[in-house]
């Protein structure tokens, strides 16, 4: 937890207890101004850096009413951001059990509690409460549906997620949720492909493309479906669409594309022309290595290594360097071979713990591609990292 969050919590608790004292004193104008014991206890806990006990003192000292509601909600929100979900639940449940609030305020507190349940992993409670709130009129409805949608995403209940997302895909949010729906159908198609239920997979991919025709993932899965069923030229056509959709994902299709060309009657030069066109859009070392491999039998190892080296002069990557070293290792012996092997080990060690992908939205990093960012929960925002330690 951050140092700044600690100070915010301390200040909020002091202010809250002070408000409680002032409100209580205001109601007893004719009586001597006194404070409850929890005020002094709370200050003592803060001075001794015991914020957990200070929170409890605050909850007991400060009445829950329309005047103090925002303070309670601010504390609950701060606790949730700090990852102290159980305490946030206590704050919000305390409001609901003690306060007499307007309906709109009460619905807002229930929404905050549903978010607490979601982050605490209490998915059944989060789903039940958010569905109940989504039946209410007003601003709470769409916010509650977003909580329900996140529950279904976590549970991988894609059919139910589609139903909720369709209700959210209105107005300015339409494009965002159409994109999400397309990926929900891609998830279904991936499951079908794994089970070799190709008809189910194709139906899901048709829906995915219908909701977002620029979804490169849909083209990738369609190509994999065609390849699995032996429709090699169709697979090539589907996979090649990725270049015009999101070229940064081309390298994800290279294995399937190379296999499809190998099993089709199409000339390999067509593959090379396509890869050269992709390189003009994205300087991916994976594309360079695929091109070099496709030419190896014709041009030999020496020309292949020169081709890779020429690319590395303009776009140096450690992965490209290791491939270049491998080519030289295969053609050397003795001490030189030993030295190259050591150099390769050093190069591999440099990138062993480095991420290969990064979310463009929140900065999450990982070694493998996630279509759904585990951090910000957005779709197709994680892209390959380019540069010395990446593509």
Report the predicted TM-score, pTM, of the whole model to 2 decimal places.
0.79
| Residue 369 near residue 382, CB atoms below 8 Å | yes
Kindly state the average pLDDT of the residues 35-59. Answer: 49
Q: Is the pLDDT of residue 182 over 90?
A: yes
Closest of 148, 155, 140 to residue 177, by C-alpha: 148
Count Cα neighbours of 287 within 13 Å in the Cβ-side half-sphere. Answer: 25
215's tokens: 């979804």
Q: How far apart are the first and last CA of the chain?
A: 34
Q: What is the pLDDT of residues 317-336, one digit of tens each?
A: 887 777 777 776 666 777 77
Q: Is the pLDDT of residue 355 over 70?
A: yes
- Cα separation of 227 and 235, whole Å? 6
Percent of the chain scored above 90 by pLDDT? 47
The CATH superfamily of 1-155 is Tetratricopeptide repeat domain (1.25.40.10)
Other beta carbons within 10 Å of 126: 23
Query: What's the gap between Cα 120 and its chain centre?
Result: 18
306's tokens: 């020169």
Query: Any residues with CB less than 8 A from the CB of 358 and at least 6 apart, and which?
Result: 364, 365, 382, 383, 385
| Residue 383 near residue 370, CB atoms below 8 Å | no
Burial zone of 295 (CB within 10 Å; 0-12 exposed, 13-18 middle, 19+ buried): middle
| Residue 307 near residue 295, CB atoms below 8 Å | yes
Closest of 299, 286, 233, 229 to residue 255, by C-alpha: 286
87's tokens: 């305490």
Q: What is the pLDDT of residues 74-126, one digit of tens each?
A: 777 777 777 777 877 777 777 777 667 788 888 988 998 899 999 889 999 99
The phi, psi pair for 121, rounded to 5°, reads 80, 10
- Cα separation of 80 and 90, whole Å? 11
Q: Which of 43-47, 117-121, 360-364 has the lowest mean pLDDT?
A: 43-47
| Residue 355 near residue 366, CB atoms below 8 Å | yes
């Amino acid at each position: 937890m951050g140092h700044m969050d600690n100070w915010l919590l301390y200040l909020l608790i002091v202010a809250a207890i002070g408000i409680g004292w002032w409100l209580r004193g205001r109601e007893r104008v004719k009586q001597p101004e006194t404070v409850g014991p929890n005020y002094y206890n709370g200050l003592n806990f803060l001075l001794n850096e015991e914020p957990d006990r200070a929170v409890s003192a605050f909850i007991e000292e400060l009445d829950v009413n329309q005047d103090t509601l925002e303070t309670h909600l601010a504390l609950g929100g701060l606790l949730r951001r700090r990852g102290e979900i159980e305490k946030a639940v206590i704050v919000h449940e305390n409001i609901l059990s003690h306060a007499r609030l307007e309906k709109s305020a009460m619905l807002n507190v229930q929404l905050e509690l549903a978010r607490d349940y979601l982050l605490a992993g209490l998915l059944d409670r989060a789903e039940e409460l958010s569905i109940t709130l989504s039946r209410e009129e007003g601003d709470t409805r769409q916010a509650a549906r977003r909580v329900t949608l996140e529950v279904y995403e976590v549970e991988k209940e894609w059919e139910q997620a589609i139903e909720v997302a369709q209700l959210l895909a209105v107005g300015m949010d339409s494009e965002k949720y159409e994109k999400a729906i397309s990926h929900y159908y891609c998830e279904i198609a991936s499951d079908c492909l794994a089970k070799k239920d190709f008809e189910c997979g194709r139906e899901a991919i048709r829906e995915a493309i219908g909701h977002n025709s620029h979804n490169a993932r849909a083209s990738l899965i369609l190509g994999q479906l065609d390849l699995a069923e032996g429709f090699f030229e169709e697979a090539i056509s589907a996979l090649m669409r990725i270049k015009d959709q999101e070229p940064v994902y081309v390298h994800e299709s290279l294995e399937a594309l190379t296999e499809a060309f190998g099993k089709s009657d199409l000339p390999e030069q067509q593959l090379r022309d396509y890869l050269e066109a992709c390189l003009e859009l994205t300087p991916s070392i994976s594309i360079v290595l695929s091109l070099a491999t496709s030419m190896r039998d014709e041009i030999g190892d020496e020309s292949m290594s020169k081709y890779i080296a020429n690319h590395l002069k303009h776009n140096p990557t450690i992965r490209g360097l290791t491939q270049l070293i491998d080519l030289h290792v295969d053609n050397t012996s003795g001490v030189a071979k030993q030295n190259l092997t050591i150099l390769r080990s050093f190069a591999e060690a440099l990138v062993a713990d480095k991420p290969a992908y990064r979310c463009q939205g929140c900065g999450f990093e990982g070694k493998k591609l996630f279509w759904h960012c585990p951090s910000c929960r957005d779709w197709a925002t994680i892209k390959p990292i380019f540069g010395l330690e990446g593509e």
